[in-house]
């Protein structure tokens, strides 16, 4: 497991682990054109908000080397930038690399920063996890999802390394099973006591399994604390509030979109019907079934107990604590353009 590398610069291509094939098969792909980069993101071969950002950063650095004409380069960058709409890390990383004097140096800096930021998130999150804590989590937020050490799962993995021996209830995360395929894989590799549950068992687990806290990641967080994350997160937050269980969101500064005031402004990706109407290649609904398949939902900030960021734990009122992020110095290795 530990040898898995989510994304890496590979000279004339960006190398990526095809996460669609896990846990059955470890296969790497090489993206060289805007189409190949965007397709890897659209198809979820590369996924997880920070990981998409790092991959796209290398992608734009590569395109700057291979496309001489400025107009053609701008069109290629647009293709990559628009490949998924909800995770703000994508546009953030693409814009940073596009504006940089040395695009590859900037992409390397974004990747190195992600590693440092994830380590800081894990350290700050530890204060929320007691010894033997029973934790419920959703989707995949580990190293595969960030190209660093992970966000929400990074906190859990740090708790395990620190001897806290958490017990983790892992939502399978329908429809594409990022929880059972990827989160469970990363937990298992770290020797964490993990129990896989179907998403619809989460509320009962909160009622009967003495869950101490929920912790999840995010794809975009508005200035008021509204959180877009993998579909199902909103329902978890409601169930947690009902049961009096703290609900934490772990995310880097790059996932906060301070240009939007609330979650109503977050574009929610709608995905293909086939992801729901079929399962493992076999039809799971009658031919022609109409499907509603939003990939993300928005959890209102008032349901979030606290945010774990690289700068520490942010508490309500979020309209006051979140905007302070704008003035924080960046963490990690910074390129000359952002020092």
Residues recognised as catalytic: 219
- Among positions 145, 187, 192, 306, the unique one binding ligand MRU when judged by CB under 6 A: 145
Residue 230 touching ligand MRU (CB under 6 A)? yes
Query: What's 201's DSSP letter?
Result: G
CA-nearest of 183, 71, 85, 175 to 135 is: 183
- Among positions 53, 143, 179, 217, the unique one binding ligand MRU when judged by CB under 6 A: 217
Residue 232 touching ligand MRU (CB under 6 A)? no
Q: How far is the CB of 295 from ligand MRU (least distance, A)?
A: 5
Among 128-136, 145-153, 164-172, 301-309, the segment contacting ligand MRU (CB under 6 A): 145-153
Among 47-55, 100-108, 257-265, 325-333, the segment contacting ligand MRU (CB under 6 A): 47-55
Contact by Cβ (8 Å): 100, 61? no
- Among positions 83, 108, 178, 224, the unique one binding ligand MRU when judged by CB under 6 A: 178
- Among positions 40, 88, 135, 139, the unique one binding ligand MRU when judged by CB under 6 A: 139
**Complex with ligand MRU: residue 46 or 129, whichever CB lies closer:** 46
Q: How far is the CB of 123 from ligand MRU (least distance, A)?
A: 16
The full 3-state SS of 210-247, as one line of letters, equals CCCEEEECCCEEECCCCEEEECCHHHHHHHHHHCCCCE
Between vectors from CA 307 to CA 208 and to CA 292, what angle results, nearest 5°? 65
Between vectors from CA 13 to CA 106 and to CA 89, what angle results, nearest 5°? 45
Residue 146 touching ligand MRU (CB under 6 A)? yes
Cα distances from 317 to residues 218, 225, 264, 335, in angstroms, run 19, 9, 19, 33
What is the chain's length? 339
Residue 47 touching ligand MRU (CB under 6 A)? yes
**Complex with ligand MRU: residue 100 or 266, whichever CB lies closer:** 266
Q: Which of residues 270-329 bind ligand MRU (CB under 6 A)?
A: 295
**Complex with ligand MRU: residue 93 or 100, whichever CB lies closer:** 93
Among 40-48, 196-204, 306-314, 327-335, the segment contacting ligand MRU (CB under 6 A): 40-48
Quickly list DSSP for 292-332.
Answer: --BSEEEE-GGG--EEEETTEEE-S-HHHHGGGGGGSPP-S
Cα distances from 229 to residues 5, 73, 92, 263, 288, in angstroms, run 23, 31, 17, 11, 28
Q: Which of residues 72-91 bind ligand MRU (CB under 6 A)?
A: 87
- Among positions 224, 229, 299, 305, the unique one binding ligand MRU when judged by CB under 6 A: 229
- Among positions 83, 114, 151, 299, the unique one binding ligand MRU when judged by CB under 6 A: 151
Residue 180 touching ligand MRU (CB under 6 A)? no
Q: How far apart are CA 310 and CA 181, in angstroms?
A: 27
Q: How far apart are CA 38 and CA 61, in angstroms?
A: 14
Q: How far is the CB of 175 from ligand MRU (least distance, A)?
A: 10
In 23-42, which positions are buried (b, 16+ CB within 10 angstroms) versus exposed (e)? eeeeeebebebbebbbbbbe
**Complex with ligand MRU: residue 215 or 245, whichever CB lies closer:** 215
CA-nearest of 335, 271, 239, 315 to 42 is: 271
Residues binding ligand MRU (CB under 6 A)? 44, 47-50, 87, 139, 141, 145-146, 151, 178, 217-219, 229-230, 295
């Amino acid at each position: 497991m530990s040898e898995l590398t989510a994304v890496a610069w590979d000279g004339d291509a960006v190398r990526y682990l095809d996460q669609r094939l896990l846990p059955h098969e470890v296969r790497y792909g090489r993206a060289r054109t805007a189409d190949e980069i965007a397709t890897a993101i659209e198809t979820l071969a590369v996924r997880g908000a920070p990981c998409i950002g790092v991959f796209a950063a290398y992608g734009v650095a590569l395109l700057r080397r291979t496309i001489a004409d400025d107009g053609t380069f701008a069109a290629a960058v647009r293709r990559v930038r628009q490949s998924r709409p909800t995770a703000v890390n994508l546009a953030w990383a693409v814009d940073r690399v596009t504006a940089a004097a040395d695009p590859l140096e900037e992409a390397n800096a974004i990747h190195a920063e992600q590693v440092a930021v994830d380590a800081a998130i894990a350290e700050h999150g530890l204060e929320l996890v007691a010894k033997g804590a029973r934790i419920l989590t959703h989707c995949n937020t580990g190293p595969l999802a960030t190209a660093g050490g992970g966000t929400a799962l990074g906190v859990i993995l740090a708790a395990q390394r620190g001897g806290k021996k958490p017990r983790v209830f892992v939502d399978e995360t329908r429809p594409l099973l990022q929880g059972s395929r990827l989160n469970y894989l990363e937990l298992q590799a770290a020797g964490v006591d993990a129990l896989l549950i179907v998403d619809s068992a989460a509320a009962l687990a909160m009622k009967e399994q003495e869950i101490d806290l929920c912790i999840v990641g995010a794809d975009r967080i508005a200035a008021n604390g509204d959180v877009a994350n993998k579909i199902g997160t909103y329902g978890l937050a409601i169930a947690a509030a009902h049961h009096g269980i703290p609900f934490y969101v772990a995310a880097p500064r790059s996932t906060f979109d301070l240009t939007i005031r609330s979650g109503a402004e977050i574009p929610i990706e709608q995905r293909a019907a086939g992801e729901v109407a079929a399962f493992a290649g076999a039809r799971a609904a009658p031919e022609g079934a109409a499907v509603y398949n939003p990939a993300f939902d928005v959890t209102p900030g008032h349901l979030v107990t606290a945010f774990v960021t690289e700068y520490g734990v942010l508490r309500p009122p979020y309209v006051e604590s979140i905007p302070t992020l704008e003035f924080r110095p960046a963490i990690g290795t910074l390129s000359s353009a952002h020092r």
